[in-house]
């Protein structure tokens, strides 16, 4: 497996081939629609490829990548990580921007540094190095390595007593 160029983000992993015409399963870790369109470019196995066709298949997708016309060619990419370019969306919160950021409230209370973003069915949760869990809906801004949050009064105080 090869390393991606700097600045690319992991967006999924290829699985096994399907059929004889070069289709291959793709499990995405990105929910952005831009990643699921024919014509999108992805970086896999040391090079750029264009998604020629994509369709849902249960919890994954079946894709045809440029240059993969037969099963044997697709099989060579089994288990390869798929990377994509960052998407410019100032309103979006990106995990790679959140991890490592200081978490403070609008009144200046410090909650620590974000060490992980926990995937949760209702919404993502920021975990800090102090053990504080901050639901993402309370994030009001992200700028210069600082995430500002505005939780309801007392919500995060309960965690200090646990």
CATH code of the region 9-84: 2.40.30.60
Contact 87, 93 (CB under 8 A): no
Report which of 91, 93, 103 is spatially closest to residue 130, judged by C-alpha positions. 103
Q: Return residue ranges of the chain for CATH 2.40.30.60.
A: 9-84
pLDDT exceeding 70 applies to what percent of the chain?
94
Q: What's the topology of domain 95-160?
A: SH3 type barrels. (2.30.30)
Residue 1: pLDDT over 80: no
Contact 36, 54 (CB under 8 A): yes
The per-residue pLDDT for range 115-128, each reduced to its tens digit, is 999 988 888 899 99
Q: Return residue ranges of the chain for CATH 2.30.30.240.
A: 95-160
Q: What is the pTM of this model?
A: 0.68
Q: How confident is the model at residue 152 (pLDDT cuts 50, 70, 90)?
A: confident
């Amino acid at each position: 497996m090869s390393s991606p160029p700097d600045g690319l983000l992991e967006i999924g992993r290829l699985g096994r081939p399907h059929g004889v015409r070069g289709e291959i399963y793709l499990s995405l870790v990105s929910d952005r629609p831009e990643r699921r369109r024919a014509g999108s470019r992805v970086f896999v196995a040391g090079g750029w490829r264009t998604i020629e066709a994509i369709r849902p298949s249960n919890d994954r997708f079946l894709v045809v990548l440029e240059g993969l016309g037969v099963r044997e060619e697709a099989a060579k990419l089994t288990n390869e990580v798929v990377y994509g370019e960052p998407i410019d969306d100032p309103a979006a919160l990106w995990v790679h921007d959140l991890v490592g950021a200081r978490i403070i409230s609008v009144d200046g209370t410090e909650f620590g540094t974000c060490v992980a973003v926990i995937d949760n069915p209702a919404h993502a949760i920021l975990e800090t190095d102090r053990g504080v869990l901050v639901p993402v809906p309370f994030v009001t801004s992200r700028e210069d390595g600082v995430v500002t949050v505005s939780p309801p009064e007392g919500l995060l105080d309960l965690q200090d007593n646990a």
